[in-house]
Amino acid sequence: MNWLLLFVPVAVGLEHFAPERHLLIFLVSSLAILPLAAWMGRATEHLAERLGEGPGGLLNATFGNAAELIIAIAAMRAGLHDVVKASIAGSIVGNILLVLGAAMLAGGIIHREQRFNATGARAQAVMLTLAAIALILPAAYRSAVGAGAAQALVLLSVSISIVLLLVYGLYLAFTLVTHSSLFLGSHAPADEKAHSPPWPAPRAALVLGAATAVIAWMSEILVGSIQPTARAFGLSSTFVGVFVVAILGNAAEHATAVTAAMKGRMDLSLSIAIGSSVQVALFVAPVLMLVSLVLGPAPMDLAFPAGLVLIMLLSVLITGQVAGDGRSDWLKGIQLLAVYVVLGLTFFFLPDTAPR
């Protein structure tokens, strides 16, 4: 797949010399991201093997979401709060439904049944429920109070952001320090390790860093082309934020989680997929909110549109059920993917002018 890396210079060239070819830029930069995500996944997995599965999974999620944070900050500075919120919601939903669904399906085709550490998965699912509640309440507040209370809504959003960041810090202490053993999963069989010895940590870190930087660059080029492309296809900006930006932003998690599931390492897979959603909800979202106070142009509240609240709540609901019993099979993958498709269809048919 490495030949797709040729699209990196092509994307840069198009951006400079033919900036009006939005659809072409969109396609080229998307294609360029794919091999980068694969390299990122490979490097992350090697580094993860050096670090152990818990921190490794967290590492995966951190680097997957770095790209999203950069994209979202760019959109926020352009005042596109709707796109930022859509990409936050899409990333939470996409990691759970698309990434975890694809991983469980791919893993389930190879392995009849895979076991994973249910206690760790449940702790993450509760964390997501907590985050969903925290991201539902500002919307409920706005619907109760009306448009007049914009300032109180920002104050509420700031308060909730601080609570979420505190909880996230404690959650990291839990997963990495006091209860790290809950997040150590079943290891890959020894023979498989034998014929692919993990890279040295510095090499893995270097590849990871380089791939991250270029992904971020490609992502910015891509973001600029998304809205004009979407308009050309008659799609709403919410659909694009939820289902296009988030898929590309999560490509790294996607590749790594699916690969891990196929290798029988469902614990790493879950750690990546759900952990990434947790990180977006408890870290990326509040950081973006707080950064908007400084970088402007206007403070971004955490009141998500009703449609986004609904899909976050429904996704979290089904995740709790799917991840709670410590086993996965291909049907679970199908179930998660089906929910993703149905959500996607609904937003696909939503006209751009409708309240979201």
Q: Which residues bind a copy of itself (CB under 8 A)?
A: 112-113, 118-119, 122-123, 125-127, 129-130, 133-134, 136-138, 140-141, 144-146, 149, 152-153, 155-156, 159-160, 163-164, 166-167, 170-171, 174, 178-179, 306-307, 310, 314, 317-318, 320-322, 324-325, 327, 329-332, 334-335, 338-339, 341-343, 345-346, 349-351, 354-356
Dist. CA 297–CA 61, nearest whole Å: 29
Q: Which is nearer to a copy of itself, 71 or 98 (CB)?
A: 98
Query: Look-up: residue for tokens 């352009």?
Result: 78
Closest contact distance (angstroms) between CB of 137 and a copy of itself is 4
CA 268 to chain CA centroid, nearest Å: 15
Q: Which is nearer to a copy of itself, 61 or 139 (CB)?
A: 139
Closest contact distance (angstroms) between CB of 128 and a copy of itself is 10
Closest contact distance (angstroms) between CB of 51 and a copy of itself is 21
CB-based contact 275:63 (threshold 8 Å): no
Q: Which is nearer to a copy of itself, 197 or 355 (CB)?
A: 355
Q: How far apart are the first and last CA of the chain?
A: 38
Task: Report how far apart, in Å, the C-alpha atoms of 71 and of each of 41, 67, 122, 305 are.
Answer: 19, 6, 30, 20
Q: Which is nearer to a copy of itself, 249 or 275 (CB)?
A: 275
Q: Which residues partner with 115 through β-bridges?
A: 327
Q: Which is nearer to a copy of itself, 12 or 158 (CB)?
A: 158
Residues 6+ apart with CB under 8 A from 214: 8, 36
Q: Which is nearer to a copy of itself, 224 or 333 (CB)?
A: 333
Q: Which is nearer to a copy of itself, 204 or 336 (CB)?
A: 336
Q: Which is nearer to a copy of itself, 10 or 330 (CB)?
A: 330
Structure tokens at 110: 């190879």
Query: Look-up: residue for tokens 């403070």?
Result: 299
Closest contact distance (angstroms) between CB of 336 and a copy of itself is 9
For the CA atoms of 202, 207, 209, 211, the dihedral, rounded to the nearest 10 degrees, stands at -170
Closest contact distance (angstroms) between CB of 356 and a copy of itself is 7
CB-based contact 204:46 (threshold 8 Å): yes
Q: Which residues partner with 114 through β-bridges?
A: 328
Structure tokens at 218: 């490609």
Closest contact distance (angstroms) between CB of 52 and a copy of itself is 19
Cα atoms in the Cβ-side hemisphere of radius 13 Å centred on 288: 33
Closest contact distance (angstroms) between CB of 279 and a copy of itself is 16
CB-based contact 116:186 (threshold 8 Å): yes
Closest contact distance (angstroms) between CB of 270 and a copy of itself is 16
